[in-house]
Amino acid sequence: MTRGRLRVFLGAAPGVGKTYAMLEEGRRLRGEGHDVVVAIVETHGRVATETMADGLEVLPRRSVDHRGVHLTDLDLENVLARRPEVALVDELAHTNAPGTEHEKRWQDVEVMLDAGIDVMSTVNVQHIESLNDVVERITGVPHRESIPDEVLRRAAQVEIVDLAPEALRGRLTEGSVYPTGRIDAALSNYFRVGNLTALRELTLLWLADEVDSALQRYRAEQGIDDTWEARERVVVALTGGPEGRTLLRRGARIASRSSGGRLLAVHVTNQDGLRDADPAELAAQRALVLKLGGTFHEVVGDQTSRALVDFAKGANASQLVIGVSRRSRLAALLTGPGIGATVIRESGDIDVHIVNHGAAGRRFALPHAGGALSARRRLLGALVALAGGPLLTLLLVLLRSEESITGDVLSYQLLVIVVALIGGIWPALFAAVLSGLTLDFFLIDPVRTLTIGEPAHFTALALYIVNAVLVSYVVDQAARRTRAASRSAAESELLATVAGGVIRGQDTLQALVARAREAFGLDVARLRGLDGTVLCEDTCAPPPSSFSEPVALPVGEAAVLELEGRTLEAADRRLLAVITAQLEAALEYRELSRAASAVGPLAEADRVRTALLAAVGHDLRRPLTAATTAVTSLRSADITFSPEEQEALLETAEQSLGTLSTLVTDLLDASRIQAGVLGVVLEPVRPEDVILPALEELDLGPGDVELELPAASPLLLADAVLLQRVVVNLLSNAARYTAAGQAPVLSVSDFGGRAEIRIIDRGPGIPDDRKDQVLLPFQRLGDTDNDTGLGLGMALARGFVEGMGGRLTLEDTPGGGLTSVVSLPQAPRADALVGADDGAGTA
């Protein structure tokens, strides 16, 4: 059986027209003769969407009763029995009602597709699993429903239904998206222009990446290696030299000339792990790549040119930027074509840019006079040459014969090799020249002159000197590579130790400073701010016996690293440059953390102020408008009201002003809690002295609430006024959500020296992942009811309880519902006795 095709309409936000577009496409297909049915569509009361659904066959829904609530959902068995050609399934990320076969609607769709049914569905960007947390950070609204990215990637077609932010806000204002009561709150929160713009860009980027991934999969499946310039991809080759920054900026300019161009920087490391790259420079270039919006890659290859071209082809690059070789013309002549020529020859359709730079043609130079070995070994090599040469010459002169010239040359050759192994290239060159002259003077006819009589002897002497030089050079290069490998291993171990110290919880700055002092055998390593303040310091024990002038290395623009002890070599300073770069990053991170810590409370306060303004502009408007209308009507001279009508208007004004007073009180209480100026007076309080006035305030009788009070209630240490507000808020919330025919339960008990007031309802309950959310200000479960206040009741209850030294927790009620537990300390025994004797709490 052929698997069905999935077509998804993707939107950046609710209301852009995904369902409308899906229904419109369904009507078009039905007009062409296809068998199309509506498996399930959520119109949300939108007239245009309901009109578009007219004329299409709508399958019956499945009915589910959950905790006394009647729900309807997709009937999968009905769809499979009907077996249409195309099924329209709205809201692909929807969570099915409890008791159904599958938890998620997309799982039902998978079954339809396996049955050969084509499906059209809708998804919002906030429901894509990989973007769920990103959308939450943008909008501040968590989304529980999500769909795995892989489900969307398997879709045969994903089509964006796009609408400009201002146009969407216009639809919202017209009432085409949400009911009138939710418009102001939506415009002030989720549907802000900035939010919608960010969500729109996020949607387009996700689809663009998915299209790019699909293209890569197709190329891999078809074995296509040629470059397809669907998008400019510029690869910049970095050697770790100073020219890298120039190449990166040139590559960034090339990538920016085309819309959607990408910058990729690649550094090729030899398989033996040895390289001439400067770690500090390479780290700086990596940071520059990130600033330019590119990505950094490091590959290993024996042939740099081959590895570079393979990477560029694998990334489907259209441009390749490399620098002019740093070798001189002489070096290029001796060693043949360089990397640039090889890359051009093997790049195929990729355009290669060779960029000139200041370091071009400067790479070839004679080895440093010091060689790769220590001064002690070089001196020892010179001594061996000075002592061994005369001794060898004396021995060869004593044993000289007409046929011994070949053995004489090989003997001196052996001496040069021994000197090269001990002292490196310069002592070996000295030994080669000295032994050549000695060989000519003492052992080649005519002897005791520097004249060579036989041309063959001159050729042998020349070859001998050339061989000596080449052997010396090879030995010196081997010593250099050995030393470089040891140095690289030591550097890697140092950096791993530093990283390990940070991971194990050590202070980053202190760990870096301490490891730097230990690694280089210094007496003191000190990080000092520009104002002279010592940020951190590490010294050896016992203290240094001699004073040395400290070496100061700048750490960005904020500090200086001072080092005291031995003289640092150039290689040491190179590794120190890496450590200073990490210190600079650590200092920057510390400053950012401090700034974030300082901004966090301000951001939270700003969020509360924004919510307060939104509440003032929306929730306070209704009671204020009702009271104003009632009073204005009573004062009108044009209309005569009967006594009953006047009483009704006065009652409306009284109720509205009472509601307005309650809302303002809640707002002021929320502001006081946020500002930390909540006044609390703790005193011994009997629970019934708070519970009974709360029931009177809520106008609840004995049949409306089940009271479970012990004969001897524990005496609480609380603020009676605040505790009454807590009980009122929690009890009113429980009464609102308790199912019809049942009553909330209020019980008092003591446990572990604390008193607990439990308020139990038999409502739908709250999911575990939302229990913390409902205790935040301006959170109403579902955010669909604008007639129940500001969403401050639970938040105020928690703030009041915590202000009294207690805690408010939410638990699931066995059998369904929510239990609010207020835990408060009991009054000390002495206070309890006083309260029991005089009948009143302490003032």
In a domain? residue 602: no
CA distances in angstroms from 15 to 169, 170, 199, 786, listed in the order given: 9, 11, 13, 20
Asked whether residue 711 falls in the same domain as residue 832, the answer is yes
In a domain? residue 800: yes
Rounded distance, CA 483 to CA 424, Å?
A: 13
Which helix (H) or strand (E) segment is 430 a member of? helix 425-443
H-type alpha helices, 552-642? 570-618, 621-635
Rounded distance, CA 412 to CA 389, Å?
A: 8
In a domain? residue 309: yes
Asked whether residue 238 falls in the same domain as residue 168, the answer is no
Rounded distance, CA 817 to CA 745, Å?
A: 11
Residue 542: asked if its preceding bond is cis (omega within 30°), the reply is yes
CA distances in angstroms from 227 to 224, 347, 348, 798, listed in the order given: 8, 10, 9, 62
Among 675, 696, 714, the domain-final residue is: 675
Q: What pLDDT, on a 0 to 100 scale, did the predictor assign at position 372? A: 54
Asked whether residue 124 falls in the same domain as residue 27, the answer is yes
Q: Which residue has the higher pLDDT, 661 or 134?
A: 134
Count the domains in the chain. Answer: 6
Rounded distance, CA 723 to CA 691, Å?
A: 9
pLDDT beyond 90 at 83: yes
Asked whether residue 279 falls in the same domain as residue 389, the answer is no
Asked whether residue 164 falls in the same domain as residue 307, the answer is no
pLDDT beyond 60 at 166: yes
pLDDT beyond 60 at 370: no
Q: What is the DSSP letter of 126?
A: G
Grouping H, G, I as helix, E, B as strand and the rest as coil, residue 573 is helix
Asked whether residue 421 falls in the same domain as residue 291, the answer is no
Per the CB < 8 A criterion, the answer to whether 251 and 263 are in contact is: yes
Residues 780-803, mean pLDDT to the nearest whole number? 61
Give the helix, strand, coil percentages of the chain, each rounded to 5.
Answer: 50, 15, 35
In a domain? residue 184: yes
pLDDT beyond 80 at 3: yes
Which CATH number belongs to the domain containing residue 517 in this structure? Answer: 3.30.450.30
Q: What is the DSSP string of 135-181?
A: HHHHHS------B-HHHHHT-SEEEE----HHHHHHHHHTTSSS-HH
Asked whether residue 779 falls in the same domain as residue 637, the answer is no
Percent of the chain at pLDDT > 90 equals 9
Q: Give the model confidence (pLDDT) of 571-620 as tens digits.
A: 667 667 777 877 887 888 778 777 776 666 666 555 555 555 554 544 55
Q: What tokens does 664 get?
A: 């303002």
| Dihedral angle, C-alpha 118, 120, 121, 122, nearest 10 ° | 150
In the structure, how many helices (H) and strands (E) does the chain have?
26, 24
In a domain? residue 598: no
Among 155, 190, 221, the domain-final residue is: 221
Q: What tokens does 171 get?
A: 């639809």
Residues 498-525, mean pLDDT to the nearest whole number? 67
Per the CB < 8 A criterion, the answer to whether 290 and 501 are in contact is: no
Q: What pLDDT, on a 0 to 100 scale, did the predictor assign at position 545? A: 46
In a domain? residue 528: yes
Per the CB < 8 A criterion, the answer to whether 56 and 24 are in contact is: no
Residues 369-376: contacts with CB within 8 Å, 24+ apart?
A: 369/426, 371/423, 371/424, 371/425, 371/426, 371/476, 371/479, 371/480, 372/424, 372/476, 372/477, 372/479, 372/480, 372/483, 373/423, 373/424, 373/476, 373/479, 373/483
pLDDT beyond 50 at 656: yes
- Residue 368 pLDDT level (bands cut at 50, 70, 90): very low
Asked whether residue 208 falls in the same domain as residue 308, the answer is no
Q: Which of the residue ranges 59-68, 365-374, 653-662 has the most confident prediction, judged by mean pLDDT?
A: 59-68
Residues 569-575: contacts with CB within 8 Å, 24+ apart?
A: 571/487, 572/520, 574/278, 574/279, 574/280, 575/279, 575/491, 575/494, 575/519
Q: What pLDDT, on a 0 to 100 scale, did the predictor assign at position 507? A: 60
In a domain? residue 611: no
Grouping H, G, I as helix, E, B as strand and the rest as coil, residue 46 is coil
Q: What pLDDT, on a 0 to 100 scale, did the predictor assign at position 600? A: 61
Which CATH number belongs to the domain containing residue 716 in this structure? Answer: 3.30.565.10
User: Which residue type does 668 have?
Assistant: L
> How open is the CA angle 549-550-552, to the nearest 5 degrees?
140
pLDDT beyond 80 at 105: yes
Per the CB < 8 A criterion, the answer to whether 189 and 614 are in contact is: yes
Among 675, 692, 716, the domain-final residue is: 675
Q: Listing from the earlier edge strand, what are the strands of the sheet with 262-269? A: 295-300, 262-269, 233-238, 319-323, 351-355
Which CATH number belongs to the domain containing residue 345 in this structure? Answer: 3.40.50.620
Residues 418-436, mean pLDDT to the nearest whole number? 80
Q: Give Dmax (Cα) for the chain.
A: 149
Q: What tokens does 22 get?
A: 């899906």
Q: Which residue has the higher pLDDT, 801 or 616?
A: 801
Which residues span the domain enclosing 735?
683-838
Asked whether residue 349 falls in the same domain as residue 379, the answer is no
- Residue 671 pLDDT level (bands cut at 50, 70, 90): low
| pTM over the 0.85 mark | no
Q: Which residue has the higher pLDDT, 221 or 22?
A: 22
Least confident of 199-203, 331-335, 480-484, 555-559: 331-335
Asked whether residue 791 falls in the same domain as residue 759, the answer is yes
CA distances in angstroms from 813 to 736, 762, 817, listed in the order given: 16, 7, 5
Asked whether residue 329 falls in the same domain as residue 239, the answer is yes
User: Which residue type does 20 have?
Assistant: Y
In a domain? residue 490: no
Asked whether residue 689 falls in the same domain as residue 750, the answer is yes
CB atoms within 10 A of CB 502: 18
Per the CB < 8 A criterion, the answer to whether 488 and 569 are in contact is: no
Q: Which residue has the higher pLDDT, 715 or 492?
A: 715
Beta bridge partners of residue 706, listed in sequence order: 745
The C-alpha R_g of the chain, in whole angstroms, comes to: 42
Rounded distance, CA 173 to CA 177, Å?
A: 8
Per the CB < 8 A criterion, the answer to whether 818 and 734 are in contact is: yes
Rounded distance, CA 550 to CA 563, Å?
A: 5
Q: What tokens does 828 get?
A: 């000390």
Rounded distance, CA 559 to CA 90, Å?
A: 59
Percent of the chain at pLDDT > 70 equals 72
